[in-house]
Amino acid sequence: MVHLSRVQTGLTDPKGAAASDLHHKAAQLHLAEYNDEFTTSVYGSRFAREDLPKNCMPEGEMPKEVAYQMIKDQLSLDGNPKLNLASFVSTYMEEEAIKLMTDAFPTNFIDYEEYPYTADIQNRCVNMIANLFNAPAEDAIGTSTVGSSEAIMLAVLAMKRRWKQARQAAGKSTEHPNIIMSSAVQVCWEKAARYFEIDEKYVDCTRERFVIDPETAVSLVDENTIGIVSILGTTYTGHYEDTKAINDLLVAKNIDCPIHVDAASGGFVAPFVVPDLEWDFRLPKVVSINVSGHKYGLVHPGVGWAVWRSCEYLPKDLIFNINYLGAEQSSFTLNFSKGASQVIGQYYQLIRLGKHGYRAIMSNLVRTADHLSDRLQELGFIIMSEKSGDGLPLVAFRFPAGKEKGAVEDRVYDEFALAAHLRARGWIVPAYTMAPKTDGLKMLRVVCREDFSRSRADDLISDIGLCLGLLATSDKESLDRAKKYVQQHVSSHSKKNHKHTVHEYKNEEHSLQGKTGKTHAIC
């Protein structure tokens, strides 16, 4: 049995007002007039109805719970990192690794005296990575960096200084040093050359060749060349450049020119997937290698590593011995203080996974990339990347054009239009314009990272098929409107209008992008 009970509203009028009057009063708007700092909830506080500070530091404080939630809410408008298939940067680590890295947040890595075990952990990582790259046991040397960009800067400095010392010893001019590299290099190489006043000698890619040509590279060597760059995994198509061919030509022609291998992406892939590929210190002309720990080293950003064959290739006058907080330290960095978290994270991955674990992960990524490549080929795309572990686990692809099989005559959409449609579905699949001398070749690229499973690859394929169907039924005018709409309303980069105060830095003309239209790809 259910007993009914009369509801007591509490709306009693001492003057005996009519029920209709009570109803009228209850319907009036009553907004809280007090400034709730944080007694109800985050969204009941005054901060929820105020703009977050943007230009000036506020006079007063806010509760920690409010600050956390307000910032978290804004960051939720960013893209989903797991759907960002443009980036090589690791987006997954185990909780235990995250805990160790969080515990190390307060640790200033540069203070070796205060944190000797942290310093020793870096040394262990350097040893393991150098051994992975077949470095000579007796004299190899290395260091951690903020990422491959800093590692590359350090390697370029070392090559330039060694060249300069040799020129000075011979009584020759030290003006106009140059460096030889593929036009497919990542933008950090352009930065290094410009910042350190080194002339760039590019070996241009073509529509059929996306890597450096060894013969051409060696033919460009002159007395002012500080070194040749060989990329183990190009940013655009993931190809491994033929370091051995460059090495063998230099040896055969008795040319004294060092090779630096940019193994930012491939350094933690090739040793496990194609261990017999000769690209590292097994080649006598290779004097230095950089690798990104935060890419296929499986650590969150940012950590990189630089390794030299021996102290001979790292001039002593670049090293500073500093007495800091009671300890004598040798330092070769572009910065000084930095957190220890990423180095700790790298060590965790190296000992947690071991060679077997890395091999298992990289093998799965290769299989996923091959599966995605096959499915895209079935959809009619031209595959530009390698398969079966002969390159990075990524898929670079484009629409067929001209007389190529499957080319659509008068196609009104391009790779950038497909990228925009995929962005509307949540996927960040970048479209790029390739390196110069490729006739403006356009392409798309999907990077397969540790958390990119075959199931997720199938989801992507389904959405690509859907977007192709939409594109095929659209005219150019509607596509242009849709692209503009996506850029303004859907793309995470356009959800907020970022107003740069220094407009004169736009439209530069000194880089490959500024000169040729090549897209500076995300790494």
Domain limits, the chain = 95-349, 355-489
Contact 273, 366 (CB under 8 A): yes
pLDDT value of position 503: 56
Q: What is the mean pLDDT of residues 28-52?
A: 78
Highest mean pLDDT among 17-21, 30-34, 273-277: 273-277
CA–CA gap between residue 523 and residue 501 (Å, rounded): 26
- Residue with the bigger pLDDT between 2 and 152: it is 152
pLDDT value of position 208: 87
Q: What is the mean pLDDT of residues 308-325?
A: 86
- State what percent of residues in the chain have pLDDT above 90: 64
pLDDT value of position 232: 98
DSSP-assigned letters across all residues of 277-323: ---STTSTTEEEEEEETTTTT---S--EEEEESSGGGS-GGG-EEEE
pLDDT value of position 478: 77
For CA atoms 392, 398, 401, 403, give the dihedral sign: positive
Quick check: bond before 10 cis, omega within 30?
A: no
Question: SS in 3 state form for 165-225?
Answer: HHHHHCCCCCCCCEEEEECCCCHHHHHHHHHCCCEEEEECCCCCCCCCCHHHHHHCCCCCE
Q: What is the mean pLDDT of residues 289-299?
A: 97
- Per-chain mean pLDDT for the chain: 88
Residue 271: pLDDT over 90: yes
Q: What is the pTM of this model?
A: 0.86
Q: What is the mean pLDDT of residues 327-344?
A: 84
pLDDT value of position 29: 77
**Residue 162: both structure tokens together:** 């060694």
Question: SS in 3 state form for 318-367?
Answer: HCEEEEECCEEEEECCCCCCCECHHHHHHHHHHHHHHHHHHHHHHHHHHH
Residues in the chain: 523
pLDDT band at 455 (very low <50, low <70, confident <90, very high): very high
Q: In one letter, which amino acid is 292?
A: S
Q: What dotted CATH number matches 355-489? A: 3.90.1150.160
CATH 3.40.640.10 describes domain 95-349: yes
Write the CB contacts of 520 (distance below 8 Å, at least 6 apart in sequence): 187, 511, 512, 513
CA–CA gap between residue 116 and residue 189 (Å, rounded): 34
For CA atoms 473, 477, 482, 483, give the dihedral sign: positive
476-504 tens-digit pLDDT = 787 777 667 766 665 554 445 555 455 56
Q: Are strands 304-308 and 141-145 parallel, antiparallel or unpaired?
A: antiparallel
pLDDT value of position 508: 61
Q: Report residue 332: phi and psi, to 5°.
A: -140, 85
Our CA angle for 82, 85, 89, nearest 5°, is 70
pLDDT value of position 78: 86
216-266 tens-digit pLDDT = 999 999 999 999 999 999 999 999 999 999 999 999 999 999 999 999 999
pLDDT value of position 494: 45
CA–CA gap between residue 160 and residue 466 (Å, rounded): 52
pLDDT band at 131 (very low <50, low <70, confident <90, very high): very high
pLDDT value of position 325: 58
Pick the range with the lowest mean pLDDT from 11-20, 243-252, 318-327.
Answer: 11-20
Residue 385: pLDDT over 50: yes
Contact 125, 352 (CB under 8 A): no
pLDDT value of position 194: 95
- Residue with the bigger pLDDT between 343 and 511: it is 343
Pick the range with the lowest mean pLDDT from 114-118, 372-376, 385-389.
Answer: 114-118
pLDDT value of position 115: 84
Q: What is the mean pLDDT of residues 181-200?
A: 94
Q: What is the mean pLDDT of residues 125-132?
A: 97
Q: What is the mean pLDDT of residues 111-135?
A: 91
- Residue with the bigger pLDDT between 204 and 439: it is 204
pLDDT band at 331 (very low <50, low <70, confident <90, very high): confident
- List the one residue out of 387, 400, 393, 384 whose CA is nearest residue 468: 400
